[in-house]
Amino acid sequence: MSFTIEPLRWGGALALTGSYFALCAGIWRAQRGKRAAAAAPADWLVVYASQTGNAEFLAQRSAELLATGGLDARAACISTLDAAALAAATQVLFIASTYGEGDAPDTAAPFAGRLMAAGAELRHLHYAVLALGDTSYTNYCGFGRAVDTWLAAQGATRLFERIDVDRGDPAALADWQHHVGRLAGTADAPDWEAPAYGDWRIGARTLLNPGSAGAPLYRLALLPAGAALPAWEAGDLAQVSPPSNPEHPREYSIASIPTEGRLDLLVRLQRRDDGTPGAASGWLCEDATGDDVIRLRLRAHERFRLGANARRPLIAIGNGSGLAGLRALLKARIDGGMHDNWLLFGERNRARDFLLRDELQGWVDAGRIARLDLAFSRDQAESVYVQDVLRAQAALVVEWIERGAAVYVCGSLQGMAGGVHEALGEVLGQETLDALAAGGRYRRDVY
Ligand SMILES: Cc1cc2nc3c(=O)[nH]c(=O)nc-3n(C[C@H](O)[C@H](O)[C@H](O)COP(=O)(O)OP(=O)(O)OC[C@H]3O[C@@H](n4cnc5c(N)ncnc54)[C@H](O)[C@@H]3O)c2cc1C
Ligand SMILES: Cc1cc2nc3c(=O)[nH]c(=O)nc-3n(C[C@H](O)[C@H](O)[C@H](O)COP(=O)(O)O)c2cc1C
């Protein structure tokens, strides 16, 4: 265990390089095999490019709707769609969300980076695009639009005009459902409604960073009102519907696991430029009392669950409220007897922002976390962030990956996740990082 950043160990890194290339080749071979299996032809493919599961949910419903009309239809993740699969497909519906600043979701990086850059002959292909997005971002539905434009430029034929969906707008989704129903030749459209909200109450609310230079961050322990605690898995999300803006739910990473008997969130109080608190964070951190009803529903976040990585060593990287998702993953592993955990966490000052200090320190002391590296950006003259720790620990990162580790990143997209991605690319090589992502060993819950 270490709280300090050790000097670079390039010698070790170089020594590991040879065996490391062998590992990369292995990952690529495994991935190629998996892609070939996943891309078995169906008459209709519904391809989803999803980060947190909305596009995937809609793709599955769309494939089911096509199947009710007797069509041979299958939903498939865009990461399984290579040039050969696209050449073999004749009818494809794309459901694409947008991330970052108009970027593709993580799973679509190879499609966007390689396939779209290389171009393809797609005159045989008929397609339609459902683009998921949010008009509060500058590049609204950027990736869905890019996919639509690219397919048309490759000679593919639109079945109908692209439909853009602003924050899950029900009218736009009904329009898509209508079009897909027509393709299926059925008016028998089942309900695609997301699960209903439940009533929850705040059992406890604790300020985790008193005196911090940053905005206050609270731990909320939530309990279902008059009902049993529902099931969820580490990595999942909770959606809260704020009373002042109920039609736009906000997502929060769940920080606890069901056996703890409560659903914990770590919520940062947001303030707008005019000083007013954010709709959801203001409600959760300041306004709501233990008597108020919190409207909340759970969302399975398949891509951030431990899943096939449950028995691998875990490198957990994050900052600020991102500790929520990482804490749930660590707790699940520790309770399951998996102690091969390395947490890299960043905040501003050790004295004020060492979130969940006693618990994390206790896990380290008991050997439940093999290694804890903390980057407190403002405790020294020069800022230090988690990505700097990754670079400083390059040899160890390579060693963990070589031992089969998975990498989970949770927290802010601005600054942290981009910086971590860049550092991992430098330390491991971009191709290896892409292969880890494609193989489900590099997963992110970033916002
Ligand atoms: C997958 C995911 C996981 C997340 N996990 C967490 C988590 O674990 N913890 C956490 O704290 N957050 C998390 N978030 C962020 C969270 O969902 C909310 O975005 C956050 O709490 C802010 O919501 P709010 O309603 O308080 O603020 P909003 O009212 O939505 O305002 C947010 C910001 O938008 C701007 N803004 C919005 N409206 C106006 C306006 N009218 N005038 C001026 N400025 C405006 C301001 O900059 C403001 O600070 C996550 C997000 C995602 C997508
Ligand atoms: C961090 C973040 C960045 C986003 N960036 C954009 C964007 O640039 N343009 C846009 O239209 N939507 C953007 N969105 C909205 C998502 O595309 C939208 O919420 C979508 O429904 C997510 O679908 P998914 O669950 O399938 O990933 C962003 C959402 C998040 C959380």
Q: What is the pLDDT of residue 194?
A: 77
Contact by Cβ (8 Å): 435, 33:
no
Residue 192 CB–ligand 2 contact under 6 Å: no
Distance 142 CA to ligand 2 centre (A): 10
Q: Which residue, by CA, sits nearest to atom 4 of ligand 2?
A: 99
> Are β-strands 198-207 and 294-299 bridged in parallel, bridged antiparallel, or unpaired?
antiparallel
Closest CA to 53 of 296, 303, 234, 325: 303
> Are β-strands 341-347 and 314-319 bridged in parallel, bridged antiparallel, or unpaired?
parallel
pLDDT tens for each residue of 426-441: 999 999 999 999 899 9
Residue 413 CB–ligand 2 contact under 6 Å: yes
CA torsion sign for 323, 329, 331, 334 is: negative
**Percent of the residues in the chain that have a pLDDT greater than 70, as a whole number:** 91
Tell me which ligand sits closest to the C-alpha of residue 253. Answer: 1
Residue 21: pLDDT over 90: no
- What tokens does 159 get? 């079945």
What b/e sequence results for 137-161 when a residue is b if at least 16 CB atoms lie within 10 Å of its CB, and e otherwise? Answer: eeebbbbbbbbbebbeebebeebee
Distance 239 CA to ligand 1 centre (A): 12
Tell me which ligand sits closest to the C-alpha of residue 255. Answer: 1
Q: How confident is the model at residue 16 (pLDDT cuts 50, 70, 90)?
A: very low
Q: Which residues line ligand 1 (CB under 6 A)?
A: 52, 237, 242, 250-253, 266-268, 270, 272-273, 278-282, 321, 324, 445, 447
Distance 198 CA to ligand 2 centre (A): 24
Q: What is the pLDDT of residue 12?
A: 36
CA torsion sign for 105, 107, 113, 119 is: negative
pLDDT tens for each residue of 193-246: 778 999 999 999 999 999 999 999 999 999 999 999 999 999 999 999 999 999
- What tokens does 17 get? 């390089």
Q: Which residue, by CA, sits nearest to atom 20 of ligand 1?
A: 281
Tell me which ligand sits closest to the C-alpha of residue 60. Answer: 2
Predicted model pTM: 0.88
Distance 40 CA to ligand 2 centre (A): 29
d(CA 425, CA 261): 39
pLDDT tens for each residue of 124-174: 999 999 999 999 999 999 999 999 999 999 999 999 999 999 999 999 999
Residue 17: pLDDT over 50: no
Closest approach atom of ligand 1 to CA 268: 11
Residue 91: pLDDT over 90: yes
Closest CA to 213 of 388, 384, 343, 350: 350
Q: What is the pLDDT of residue 213?
A: 96
Q: How confident is the model at residue 40 (pLDDT cuts 50, 70, 90)?
A: low
Distance 277 CA to ligand 1 centre (A): 10
Quote the crossing angle between the two packed helices 323-335 and 357-365, to the nearest 10°.
30
Residue 19: pLDDT over 60: no
Tell me which ligand sits closest to the C-alpha of residue 54. Answer: 2
Helix (H) or strand (E) holding 253: strand 250-253
